[in-house]
Amino acid sequence: MLKKNFKYLLLVMTMILAVLSCGKSESGGDSTSGKKNIKVGVIYTKAKLGGNSFNDLVFEGVKRAEADFGIKYNNVEPNTAADQENAQETMASSGEYALIIVVGQEQMDALKKTAEKYPDQKFAYIDGILEMPNIASYEAKEQEGSFLVGVLAALSKENKIDPKFNNENKLGFIGGVNSPLINKFYTGYMAGIRYVNPSYVVTADYVGGFNDPSTGKVIASTMNQKGNDVIYHAAGASGTGLFQAAEEKGFIAIGVNSNQNTLAPNNIIATMIKKVDVAAYSAIKDITEGKFSQGKNILGLKEDGVGYTTEGSNIKVPQEIIDEVEKIKQKIVSGELVIPDTPESVDEFLKNNTYSK
């Protein structure tokens, strides 16, 4: 009798274990293979990959997501606006992509039409805001990171840490185009410089595009001839012309987006980091986890979406200056300093905020 009861108990326990085992397999067994089957499309700006700037940083985020989640991706490097629109249409109509990443404000109008036409397709829009139910928009507080490199430039100039700094009160900015987005870079830079020294004058000029190094070089050389010893750019691949001019004329430059310091290490003092790789990675991560961050995703210093680096530069910024920049950074993170995002609002900011060590 005892032997029969033992056999019966053993049978029941085996059945229970089998049921539990099946339940575990159904809930999580295909998660890895599901991620590997996820396909992501990426459509870059017309500046393409290879400029060690904005597009390349997005690609870094995509490659990191590939390594971490096993997704597959397809890159498109368009030559024209028509190419961008065609790529959006081709990817969205295929139904193959769990997510299509669209890069740059130059694609905003095309994306709005594509997203309306394919409401079931999910998009991540990097570098702007489109409030639609199938778009996760990622926008940075470029003015915050630019403020920090402005402070660093002004303090370095005040202390003449390098012989390339002159005795004039002029610093320059080169933008790709004259737009609200690019002027956020200009505004933050100007505000940071004048926060340290209100007598400094910051002038701006615009290339007219993001893939024209020759014009960028001419503008930078002209600015330097007029006394500007530090020039910051937000001009994409056009900014490589600034670096060429800085090396030839012997002045200081500031890079943007991904770390550009090593491109001209004797002349580039720092780079304002715009971490669009974080945006691309986050968007893909959400998709692999079955989530979708529709709406605005704003990335500033607090969210680690922007920053700065002196790594790779041969211009040695003293630690006391770095410490001062970091102290000001914490004031921005805490909300004590709210950095303006339009040139017209800089004077008001300076009225309400004064710098003291």
Q: Cα–Cα distance between 56 and 231 in angstroms, integer? A: 22
User: How far out from the chain centre does Cα 272 lie?
Assistant: 10
**Mean pLDDT, the chain, whole residue set:** 89
What is residue 36's predicted lDDT score, i.e. its pLDDT? 60
Helices (H), the chain: 2-28, 31-36, 54-69, 81-94, 108-117, 142-158, 180-196, 213-225, 239-249, 276-288, 319-334, 346-352
> For the whole model, what pTM was predicted?
0.80
Q: Report pLDDT digits (tens) over 73-84.
A: 999 999 999 999
Q: Report pLDDT digits (tens) over 271-300.
A: 999 888 999 999 999 999 999 988 888 899
Q: Cα–Cα distance between 117 and 318 in angstroms, integer? A: 55
Q: Report strand pairing: 39-43 vs 99-103.
A: parallel
User: How far out from the chain centre does Cα 204 lie?
Assistant: 22
Return phi, psi of residue 162, to 5°: -145, 145
Best CA proximity match to 191, nearest among 333, 304, 343? 343
312: burial class by Cβ within 10 Å (0-12, 13-18, 19+)?
middle
Q: Report pLDDT digits (tens) over 139-157.
A: 999 999 999 999 999 999 9
Please, are residues 4 and 64 in contact by the beta-carbon 8 Å criterion?
Answer: no
pLDDT over 80 (residue 53)? no
Q: Cα–Cα distance between 241 and 253 in angstroms, integer? A: 11
Q: Report pLDDT digits (tens) over 252-266.
A: 999 998 899 999 999
Question: Helix or strand or coil: residue 140?
Answer: strand
pLDDT over 50 (residue 27)? no
Q: Which two tokens stand for residue 131?
A: 């409030």
C-alpha pair distances (Å), 184 with each of 28, 133, 177, 200, 254: 45, 27, 12, 19, 16
